[in-house]
C-alpha cells in the first residue's frame, strides 16, 4: 500500500515536469536602453523539457498579453532563448533595448508562471531644456557639452542639430559632409551617455544655435565666436618700449657728451671761447 503511494507520488512528480524556480513571484529588473537584459526563468531541474512554455508580455495599449517572438513585431531579431543545451533554462535575452521594452513579462509554463517587471532607464539629459552660452575663438576648437545623468545609458534618437539662419531650418551636423566635414567628433567612446561634440578649426560661420536632441528632450547651446587674439595687443607695447629705449639712449648720450673731458675751456684776449679738441 505504502509502496503504491510512493510510486504514484514519483509518477506524478515526473509528469509534472518543470518546476519553475521563483514560481508565481514577481521579479524586478532594471536595464539600460541600448543594452541587453537576461530575463531569468528556469525549472529546478534544468534537464526537464517544459510543456506549454511561452514568453508573453502585457501590451498595455490594447490591454492584452501577447506572445514574444523573434520572428516578427517589436522583438524581431532581438530576443534569444538558451534552452538548446539545458531545456529547462527558459531565460530570455533581449538586446538593443528601447524604452518600449519596459513592462510586465510572463514566463508561462503550463499552469505556472513567473512575472518579471522590467524597468528601462533611458537618457536623462543633464541641463535638459536649458540654454548654455559658450564662447570660443576662431581657429581653435570647442567642446559642446551634452550628457545623460547616467553615462552608461545609450540614448535613443540622439542627434546634434544646428539652426541654419539662412534657410531657417534645423540641420543635422555631420562629419561626413557640409560645413562640418572632418571637423566634428563625438567623444562617447568610453561612456555611451557622453554625447559631447568637439568642433575644431572653428570659423565665424560656426557661431549660432546648436541642439543636442535626445528623443523628446534637448539642450540648446548658443556658441559665440571671437576673433583669434593673435599677438595684436603686443605690437603697440613693443613700439612704446622701443621709443622709450631710444629716449633713454639719447639722454645717456647727451649726459655723457656734456661731461666729456676732451671738451676744454680757455680764455683769450677777445673773450671766452669754447673749442672742441675732438
Ligand X SMILES: *[C@@H]1O[C@H](CO)[C@@H](O)[C@H](O)[C@H]1NC(C)=O
Q: How far is the CB of 126 from ligand X (least distance, A)?
A: 7
Please state, in angstroms and rounded to a whole number, the distance separating the CA atoms of residues 180 and 176.
Answer: 8
CA dihedral 65, 67, 69, 73 (to 10 degrees): -40
Q: How far is the CB of 45 from ligand X (least distance, A)?
A: 11
Q: Between 25 and 44, how does the x/- string for binding to ligand X read (CB under 6 A)?
A: -------------x---x--
* DSSP state, residue 85: T
Please state, in angstroms and rounded to a whole number, the distance separating the CA atoms of residues 113 and 118.
Answer: 16
Q: Which of 91, 95, 161, 217 binds ligand X (CB under 6 A)?
A: 91
Q: How far is the CB of 34 from ligand X (least distance, A)?
A: 17
147 lines the binding site for ligand X (CB under 6 A): yes
187 lines the binding site for ligand X (CB under 6 A): yes
89 lines the binding site for ligand X (CB under 6 A): yes
CA dihedral 78, 79, 85, 88 (to 10 degrees): 170
Nearer to ligand X, 47 or 241 (CB): 47
Please state, in angstroms and rounded to a whole number, the distance separating the CA atoms of residues 16 and 139.
Answer: 75
Burial of 11 (0-12, 13-18, 19+ CB in 10 A): exposed
Q: Contact 101/32 with Cβ under 8 angstroms?
A: no
- The separation between CA 198 and the C-alpha centre of its own chain, rounded to angstroms, equals 11
158 lines the binding site for ligand X (CB under 6 A): no
Contacts with ligand X: how many residues (CB under 6 A)? 10
Residue list 191-250, contact with ligand X (CB under 6 A): 194, 196
Q: Which of 82, 234, 237, 253 binds ligand X (CB under 6 A)?
A: 82
Task: Report the relative pairing of strands 197-199 and 142-144 from DSSP bridges.
Answer: antiparallel
127 lines the binding site for ligand X (CB under 6 A): no
**What is the secondary structure of 102-119 as a DSSP string?**
-EEEEEEETTEEEEEEEE
Q: How far is the CB of 135 from ligand X (least distance, A)?
A: 17
Q: Between 42 and 61, how does the x/- string for binding to ligand X read (CB under 6 A)?
A: x---x---------------
Nearer to ligand X, 81 or 171 (CB): 81
- Interface positions with ligand X (CB under 6 A): 38, 42, 46, 82, 89, 91, 147, 187, 194, 196
Amino acid at each position: 500500500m505504502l509502496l503504491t503511494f510512493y510510486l504514484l507520488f514519483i509518477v506524478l512528480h515526473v509528469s509534472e515536469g518543470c518546476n519553475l524556480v521563483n514560481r508565481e513571484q514577481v521579479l524586478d529588473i532594471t536595464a539600460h536602453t541600448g543594452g541587453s537584459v537576461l530575463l531569468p526563468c528556469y525549472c529546478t531541474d534544468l534537464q526537464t523539457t517544459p510543456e506549454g512554455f511561452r514568453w508573453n508580455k502585457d501590451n498595455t495599449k490594447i490591454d492584452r498579453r501577447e506572445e514574444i517572438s523573434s520572428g516578427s513585431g517589436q522583438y524581431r531579431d532581438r530576443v534569444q532563448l538558451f534552452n538548446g543545451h539545458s531545456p529547462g533554462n527558459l531565460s530570455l535575452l533581449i538586446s538593443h533595448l528601447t524604452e518600449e521594452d519596459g513592462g510586465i513579462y510572463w514566463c508561462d509554463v503550463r499552469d505556472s508562471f513567473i512575472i518579471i517587471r522590467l524597468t528601462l532607464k533611458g537618457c536623462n539629459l543633464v541641463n535638459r531644456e536649458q540654454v548654455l552660452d559658450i564662447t570660443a575663438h576662431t581657429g581653435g576648437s570647442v567642446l559642446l557639452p551634452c550628457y545623460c545623468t547616467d553615462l552608461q545609458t545609450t540614448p535613443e534618437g540622439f542627434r546634434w542639430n544646428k539652426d541654419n539662419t539662412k534657410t531657417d531650418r534645423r540641420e543635422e551636423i555631420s562629419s561626413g559632409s557640409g560645413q562640418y566635414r572632418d571637423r566634428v567628433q563625438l567623444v562617447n567612446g568610453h561612456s555611451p551617455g557622453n554625447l559631447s561634440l568637439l568642433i575644431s578649426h572653428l570659423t565665424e560661420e560656426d557661431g549660432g544655435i546648436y541642439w543636442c536632441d535626445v528623443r523628446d528632450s534637448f539642450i540648446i547651446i548658443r556658441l559665440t565666436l571671437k576673433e583669434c587674439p593673435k599677438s595684436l595687443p603686443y605690437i603697440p607695447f613693443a613700439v612704446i618700449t622701443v621709443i622709450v629705449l631710444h629716449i633713454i639712449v639719447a639722454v645717456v648720450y647727451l649726459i655723457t657728451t656734456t661731461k666729456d673731458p676732451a671738451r676744454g675751456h680757455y680764455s683769450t684776449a677777445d673773450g671766452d671761447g669754447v673749442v672742441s679738441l675732438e
